[in-house]
Chains A and B, each alone.
Chain A
Amino acid sequence: EVQLVESGGGLVQPGGSLRLSCEASGFTFSRHWMTWVRQGPGKGLEWVANIKEDGSARYYVDSVKGRFTISRDDAKDSVYLQMNTLRADDTAVYYCARVFRGVFASDAFDIWGQGTMVTVSP
């Protein structure tokens, strides 16, 4: 079964750090870009970061640049999100997702984990 399982969420104080993990199974992890998407309470979806198959390219939404780092370990079929200097507006459910490259080299997020909740509060 193709699946992604996130872990590492929790309650953290403003200015603190947290590391999210996402373990993949059921597909060849090393062949895919991977991404993180978040959803604040009662809000829509916001892309956070993605990482190329070989880890040689990484991209971030402006609001997390310099604070968050995406990485991967293909030996463990896992992608990570290191989150530093957390703020209240980082409070959200964080999803990891697989990037699927389809027709005409179009990308879509075709497999999603169940999400892990991050709460930033004093």
Chain B
Amino acid sequence: DIQMTQSPSSLSASVGDRVTITCRASQSISIYLNWYHQKPGKAPKLLISAASHLQSGVPSRFSGSGSGTDFTLTISSLQPEDFATYYCQQTYSIPPTFGQGTKVEIK
């Protein structure tokens, strides 16, 4: 199985900050990498697919980059509604595996 490792596991940031979360795969996954966020008690929401493709309706402050084994999710200007846990996921091979999550908290 492909292991996905996110860093950091948690971070504290202020509204307006630029935030970067990284995700590393244990082997090359091309661009088959998705990003989700999840708020407490809610289902995950797809933000970015195929490493860099923003889902319809997702604000443009979110962006994704990377290929192979190293990927990045960037929030250019953190907003109050962005405080959540973020997960990366690879769909290069079965089983599709998720990172352990990055909790973004208010500083």
Contacts and interface: CB of A to CB of B under 8 A. Distances in A.
Contact of A104 (B31, B36, B44, B99): B31
B83 interface: no
Contact of A102 (B43, B50, B101): B50
B43 A115 contact: yes
Secondary structure call for the A interface: strand
A104 B31 CA distance: 9
Contact of B96 (A47, A103, A113): A47
Instruction: Give the interface residue-count category, chain B.
Output: 20 to 34
A11 interface: no
Contacts of B87: 44-45
A112 to B, nearest CB: 4
Given A44-B98, A45-B98, A100-B49, A106 B91 contact: yes
Interface in B68-107: 87, 89, 91, 94-101
B43 A107 contact: no
Given A106-B49, A108-B49, A112-B43, A47 B97 contact: yes
Nearest to B33: A106
Nearest to A63: B95
B46 interface: yes
Interface centre among A50, A106, A113 (most CB of B within 10 A): A106
Nearest to A99: B91
Given A45-B44, A59-B94, A104-B31, A110 B55 contact: yes
Given A95-B44, A104-B50, A109-B89, 15 more contacts: A45-B36, A45-B87, A45-B98, A45-B101, A47-B95, A59-B94, A59-B95, A102-B50, A102-B53, A106-B50, A106-B91, A107-B96, A108-B50, A109-B34, A109-B44
Interface of A: 37, 44-47, 50, 59, 61-62, 95, 100, 102-104, 106-110, 112-115
